[in-house]
Every structure is written in C-alpha cells, then in structure tokens.
C-alpha cells in the first residue's frame, strides 16, 4: 500500500506512467485511486474528438460547502526525446534527485498536492478540488476548457485556484506567477499578378505592399509595459514568396507575425489593427487569418498571492517575486473564474533530457501546499 503522505513515492509512481500527450498512460487512474481513498469524489471525462481529442480529464472534489480552493494541473508530459541517461519512464533516484519525464512539469507538483491533501483531515471545512487535464502540452482544446464546462454543469466554481506549473527559478519559492502575457499569430497573404520584371506595368508585385504592411506593423510601439508586465512585442516570424526566378514578379507574398501582449490589449483588437493596415495597403488583395493562443491575464496582487507568498516565506524564508514572465499556461483559461496564481517546482530541467527534481524540494513543496490549502479554506 502506497503511503499517500510521501510525495517522493507518489511522484515516482506517476512518472512511471508514460502519459505523453494525449495518452492517459495510467496516470489519471492512479490519481483517481489515491484521491478516492482520501475521500474525494472522482469524475473521469473523455473530451473532444480527433484530431485534438479525445482527451482524458479528471476532476476530484472533497467537501460540500464553504470556500472552494482548487489545485489545477496536467498529467500529460512532453515526449522525452532521445539521449536520456536512463529510461525517462523508469524513475530513478540518483543522489538528491529524482529523474524522469514530468518530474518537474508537473507530476512532482501533483504528487506534492496529493500528499498535502493526505495530511488534511477528510472532514475539513470548505471544498478542495483537483482539476487535472490530460492535454496541457498539446493543442489544449479539450483540456482545461472542457473541465471548466463540466464543472459549470456540476455547479462547481472555485473561489481560488493554484496552478502547480514549475514557476521557481533557482530555488523553490523564489518566483510565483500572477499573470501571463497573451499570444496571437497572424498570417498575412497579399495576392498580385505574375509577370516579367522588365515589364512591371504588366504585372502587380504583392511583395511591395507586404513590405509596407510589415514596416507599419513594426513601426508601432504597442505600449510601454506597466507595473506587472513587460512591453508587448510583435515579431515577424516568417516571410515567404518562394520565387526562385530572378526575372519574375511573383503572384503572391505571405508573412506571419506573432504578438506577445500584456493586459493592455485584447487579442481581437490586435487582429483588427493588423487587418486595418492590410486593407489600407493591399485593399481586397490582402487576406488575414489569425489564431489567439491565449489572452493576457493578471491576478491583482492581493489576498491570494499574499496567502501563497506567506506560506512560501514560512517554509523557505524566501519572499517570492511576483512575475508575469514566460509563455502561456492553462491559468489563462481558469483566470476567467477567480484569482489564479501559479506556483511549483524549479523549472531548469523542464521539457529537457534528464528532467529531475530535488527530493527536498518535493517534500518542501508539499508542506507549502498544505499550508496554502489550509489557509484558503480557513482551517
């Protein structure tokens, strides 16, 4: 019988489940068994269809009334790649480190959360839930978003959410995330008319307006940043004409841009701005296609971040930096509901070969999580 108080043992067992997105790999079943034995009501879902599904999702809930705190995370891992010293799905302790895919991102944090639940009495006040998706590392279309729909149907909405992504930099607890930038990709196509370069009056070169469009996009300073975010930034990520001939004016020119934007913008506003410039420079020969990967969000520093920072300080002595750096995470979805803060293990080896977590960090993280949950439900 597994001791559910031991985050190291729980992490080992979770890592041994080969749950590369979107494969369940036994990880959620293991979690379900543990959480059921801790008095949680466990719901399994299989959401969506091909090509972005079906995705295994798990929701576990304990308690009926009072403040509701949720731990959110993902049981899937990125593909291990070749070149590991050892089997990425055969967890191994060498020295003070536990090696295996998902050790820090984020089976270690899930193990720490489960061990924290195990230390709380089952009849605690308030509601504690675990929101665990099987697709955070993939398209994420039927992951956390689907779980949120299920929770709406069940009438469950957390008051506070802790996301266990690896946010620590050099030492456990030195950084938590209170927001993230948004991200949008835009594909621009300009159509023209092919012809001989010596007879430009008989052709229409789409490269000319495309260059003007890109110039105008890069000209604008989107903002200056603010107290919590760095300035928004547009990067041209591709320019493609694909014309091998030196004497031909091409018929089509394409480009792609990515914008990482802060909370002073919405994804659609940025798309509308780009569409306007394309229309002005290329008229009806311009086409715009876009995809918002996620909106920016900010959980204003306040009660929730203070609770988390306080628990970190009490256990480690560190005052965590409140950051909005890095890529997107599923917190972008959950932040529609309530204050969301991310705090987890050191991220130096995430997604890398020989991903590893310090054994002491696992134990310490579990103690910090325990303190956070206790304070959140007023226990």
Residues with catalytic annotation? 76, 136
Query: 18 near 89, Cβ under 8 Å?
Result: yes
**Alpha-carbon distances of 349 from 246, 280, 352, 358, rounded to whole Å:** 47, 46, 5, 11
User: In this complex, which beta carbon is closest to Zn ion, that of residue 24 or of residue 105?
Assistant: 105
How far apart are CB 105 and Zn ion at their closest, in Å? 4
Query: 223 near 329, Cβ under 8 Å?
Result: no
Q: Counting contacts by CB under 5 A, is residue 330 touching Zn ion?
A: no
How far apart are CB 222 and Zn ion at their closest, in Å? 28
CB atoms within 10 A of CB 245: 10
User: In this complex, which beta carbon is closest to Zn ion, that of residue 164 or of residue 250?
Assistant: 164
The residues in 161-200 that bind Zn ion, with binding defined as CB under 5 A, are 165
CA 174 – CA 12 distance, rounded (Å) = 25
CA 5 – CA 235 distance, rounded (Å) = 47
CB atoms within 10 A of CB 6: 16
- Among the candidate windows 24-32, 38-46, 83-91, 157-165, which touches Zn ion by CB under 5 A? 157-165
User: In this complex, which beta carbon is closest to Zn ion, that of residue 215 or of residue 327?
Assistant: 327
CA 134 – CA 138 distance, rounded (Å) = 9
- Among the candidate windows 9-17, 77-85, 158-166, 320-328, which touches Zn ion by CB under 5 A? 158-166
Nearest to 257 by CA among 327, 328, 187, 183: 187
User: In this complex, which beta carbon is closest to Zn ion, that of residue 137 or of residue 281?
Assistant: 137
Please give the residue whose beta carbon sits closest to Zn ion in the complex. Answer: 105
How far apart are CB 201 and Zn ion at their closest, in Å? 56
How far apart are CB 72 and Zn ion at their closest, in Å? 11
The residues in 92-121 that bind Zn ion, with binding defined as CB under 5 A, are 105-106
Which positions lie near Zn ion, rule CB under 5 A?
105-106, 165
């Amino acid at each position: 019988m597994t001791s559910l108080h031991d985050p190291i043992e729980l992490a080992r067992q979770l890592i041994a489940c080969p749950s590369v997105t979107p494969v369940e790999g036994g990880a959620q079943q293991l979690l379900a068994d543990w959480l059921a034995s801790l008095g949680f009501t466990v719901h399994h879902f299989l959401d969506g269809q091909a090509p972005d599904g079906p995705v295994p999702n798990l929701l576990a809930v304990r308690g009926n009334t009072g403040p509701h705190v949720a731990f959110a995370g993902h049981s899937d891992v990125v593909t291990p790649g070749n070149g590991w010293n050892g089997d990425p799905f055969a967890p191994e302790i060498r020295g003070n480190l536990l090696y295996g895919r998902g050790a820090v991102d984020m089976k270690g944090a899930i193990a720490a959360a489960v061990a924290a639940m195990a230390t709380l009495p089952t009849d605690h006040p308030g509601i504690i839930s675990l929101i665990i998706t099987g697709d955070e590392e993939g398209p994420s279309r039927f992951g956390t978003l689907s779980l949120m729909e299920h929770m709406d149907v069940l009438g469950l909405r957390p008051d506070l959410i802790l996301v266990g992504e690896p946010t620590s930099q050099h030492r456990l607890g030195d950084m938590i995330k209170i927001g993230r930038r948004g991200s949008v990709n835009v594909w621009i196509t300009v159509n023209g008319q092919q012809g001989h370069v010596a007879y430009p009056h008989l052709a229409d070169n789409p490269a000319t307006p495309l260059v003007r469009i890109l110039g105008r996009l890069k000209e604008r300073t989107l903002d200056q940043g603010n107290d919590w975010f760095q300035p928004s930034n547009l990067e041209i990520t591709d320019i493609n004409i694909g014309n091998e001939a030196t004497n031909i004016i091409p018929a089509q020119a394409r480009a792609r841009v990515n914008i990482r934007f802060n909370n002073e913008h919405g994804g659609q506003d940025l798309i509308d701005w780009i569409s306007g410039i394309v229309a002005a420079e290329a008229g009806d020969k311009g086409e715009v296609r876009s995809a918002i990967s996620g909106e920016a969000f900010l959980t204003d520093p306040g009660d929730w971040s203070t609770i988390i920072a306080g628990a970190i300080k009490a256990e480690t002595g560190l005052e965590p930096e409140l950051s909005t750096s890095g890529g997107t995470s599923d917190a972008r979805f959950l932040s529609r509901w309530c204050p969301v803060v991310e705090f987890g293990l050191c991220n130096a080896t995430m997604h890398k070969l020989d991903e590893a977590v310090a054994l002491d960090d696992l134990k310490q993280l579990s103690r910090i999580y325990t303190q956070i949950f206790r304070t959140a439900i007023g226990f």
